[in-house]
Amino acid sequence: MDNSIKLSLAHMGGREQYWIDQAFKTGWIVPLGPNVDEFERLLGEYLGTPGRVVALSAGTAALHLGLVMLGVEPGDEVVCQSFTFSASANPVRYLGANPVFVGSESDTWNMDPAALDSCIADRIEKTGRKPKAIIPVHLYGMPAKMNEICAVADKWGIPVLEDAAEALGSELCGRKCGTFGRYAALSFNGNKIITTSGGGALVCPDAEAAARVKFYATQARENRPYYYHEVIGYNYRLSNVCAGIGIGQMEVLDEHLARRREIHAMYGSLLSGLSWLKVMDNPSADFDSNFWLSTITLDKACGHTPDELRLALGEQDIESRLLWRPMHMQPVFADAPYYSTGGVEERLFDSGLCIPSGSGLSDGQIERVARAIAAFGR
Ligand SMILES: *Cc1c(COP(=O)(O)O)cnc(C)c1O
C-alpha cells in the first residue's frame, strides 16, 4: 500500500468523467465547445462576474493575456511581488517588458502597499514613466491587502492584474479574490484548489474585454472569410475535454474549500503546543484564506532549518516544500530592480515550510503529519 502523504494532489469529485464522456459523445474534442462554455458560466456565477470569465490553457496564459490587454509593450515596467512563484513574473518577460519587484509585509506575506507606493514614485523619478501594471499575489491562498494596494494603484492610475492562481474561494472583507483587479488570473493546474489537469482563466472587466481575450487566445483571427491578422495571436484556449473535468470540480468546490480550511484548523490545534513553530493564520477577521497550502514557520531559536524538517518528513514518506524563493533572489531576475521591506520574504524563505494540505487527505493522515513534526522538535 502506498503510505505516502503528498502536499496537494488532484482530488476528483466523481462526476468529472461524465462530462469528459459528453465531450467524446458530442465530438467536441477541441479547445472550445459546450463544456468550455458551461465551465466559464459556473466560474462567472461563483465569482459574481457573469459573462466575464475566459477559460484558458493555463494560469500563466491568463497572466500573459492580462498583460496583453493592459497594453504592456517591450521596455515597459510591471510591478510584481517578489515572494511568489515565477509564473507571476515570467509573462512580463514574454512581452519584452521588465519586472520590478516589491517586498512583502509580514501580516499576509504579500505585496506591501507602502513599499508599492514608494516603488512607483521611485520608478517614475528614475525612468520618467509609470509602470504599466501591478501584479499582486494571494500567496498560499491568503488574500493580499487588496484595498490598500488598489488605493495606491488608483492614486497613480495604474491597473491591477490580480494573480489569484492560488486563491479560488479566498475572501477579503467578504469579497472574493479574483474580483479586485481590473483583470484576475486563476489556475486549475493539478495541485491547485480545483483542477482541469492543466488550465486557467482570466476574469475580465466586461463582456467586451472577455471577447477580445478570446480573440487573442484563438490566434487573433479577424472576422473575414480568409485568415487575416492585424495583431499577434496566441493558442491559449482550454480544451473542451479538460473543461469537463472543471465542471465536475465546480460541483465539489465548496466541499473541497471547507476541507482545506478544516485541515488548516486541525494543524492549528495539533501543533499549538509546539513553541518552536507557528502555523500561518488569517491576520484578522477581514481575511478568509482558502488555505490552499498550510504553512508553518520555525523559530530561529529551535536550531533547525526548514530543510532539515523537510528531509526528516521525507524519510517518513511525507512530502513538504520550502516556501517560494523570492524572485529578486533568482538568477534569471538578478538585474531587476527590487524594493525591499527589510527582508520579510527572505526571512520567510529561511524559516518556512508548506505541509500536506490536499482536500483528499484524511484526518488520520493529518494527525500523522502533526506527530512527525512534533517528534522532529523533540
Ligand atoms: C500556479 C500558479 C501560477 C501559474 O498557473 P499555471 O496554471 O500553472 O500556469 C501563477 N501564479 C501563481 C502564484 C501560481 O501558484
Give average pLDDT by consecutive 10-residue segment, the chain, 378 residues.
89 92 91 94 98 98 98 98 98 98 98 98 98 98 98 98 98 98 97 96 98 97 95 97 97 97 98 96 98 96 93 97 98 97 96 97 98 91
Q: Which atom of ligand 1 is nearest to the CA of 191?
A: 1
Query: Residue 10, SS3?
Result: coil
Distance CA 97, CA 91 (A): 9
* Ligand 1 binding pocket mutation candidate from 110, 170, 189, 327 (most atoms within 8 A of CB): 189
How many CB atoms within 10 Å of residue 161? 28
Could you tell me which of 181, 98, 101, 97 has the C-alpha nearest to residue 138? Answer: 181
Gyration radius (Cα) of the chain, Å: 21
Name the residue of 166, 242, 295, 327 whose CB sits within 8 Å of the most ligand 1 atoms, as the mutation to test its pocket: 166
Residue-level pLDDT at 301? 82
**H or E element that contains 153:** helix 146-156
| Total Cβ atoms within 10 A of residue 238 | 28
CB-based burial label for 242 (10 Å; 0-12, 13-18, 19+): buried
Distance, CA 188 to ligand 1 centroid (Å)?
8
Q: Where are the beta strands (DSSP E) in the chain?
A: 53-56, 77-81, 98-102, 133-135, 161-163, 171-172, 175-176, 183-187, 200-203, 277-279, 287-288, 294-298, 321-322, 338-339, 352-355
Query: Residue 65: which of 219, 267, 179 has the closest Cα?
Result: 219
Indicate the pTM of the whole model. Answer: 0.97
CA–centroid distance, residue 373 to ligand 1 (Å): 28
Residue 178 phi/psi, 5-degree rounding, is 100, -5
What distance in Å separates the CA atoms of residue 42 and residue 45, rounded to the nearest whole number?
5
- Listed in sequence order, the residues at least 6 apart from 177 whose beta carbon sits closer than 8 Å to its beta carbon are 138, 143, 146, 162, 164, 167, 168, 169, 170, 171, 184
Q: Please report the atom of ligand 1 found closest to the CA of residue 188.
A: 7
Ligand 1 geometric centre to CA of 226 (Å): 36
Neighbours of 230 (CB within 10 A): 8
**238 CA from centroid of ligand 1 (Å):** 15
For atom 7 of ligand 1, the residue with the nearest CA is 59
What pLDDT was estimated at residue 1?
59
**pLDDT score recorded for residue 30:** 84
Report which ligand 1 atom has the smallest distance to the Cα of 139. 13
* Ligand 1 pocket residues where CB is under 6 Å: 58-60, 84-85, 87-88, 137, 163, 165-166, 187, 189, 200
Q: Whose CA is nearest to atom 5 of ligand 1?
A: 59
Q: Which residues does residue 161 pair with via DSSP β-bridges, in sequence order? A: 183
* Residues in CB range of 29: below 8 A, 6 or more apart: 23, 239, 240, 241
Helices 16-26 & 34-47, crossing angle to 10 degrees? 140
Q: How far apart are CA 185 and CA 181, in angstroms?
A: 9
CA distance 346 to 128: 30
Q: Whose CA is nearest to atom 10 of ligand 1?
A: 87
CA distances to 57, 159, 281 from 94, in Å: 16, 19, 35
Work out the widest C-alpha separation in the chain, in whole angstroms: 72
Distant-in-sequence, close-in-space partners of 234: CB < 8 Å, separation ≥ 6? 61, 64, 65, 216, 217, 219, 220
The pick from 54, 82, 85 for probing ligand 1's pocket by mutation, whose C-beta has the most ligand atoms within 8 angstroms, reads 85
Please give the grid coordinates belonging to residue 254.
Answer: 465548496
Nine-digit cell string for 218: 484563438
**Model pLDDT, residue 261:** 98
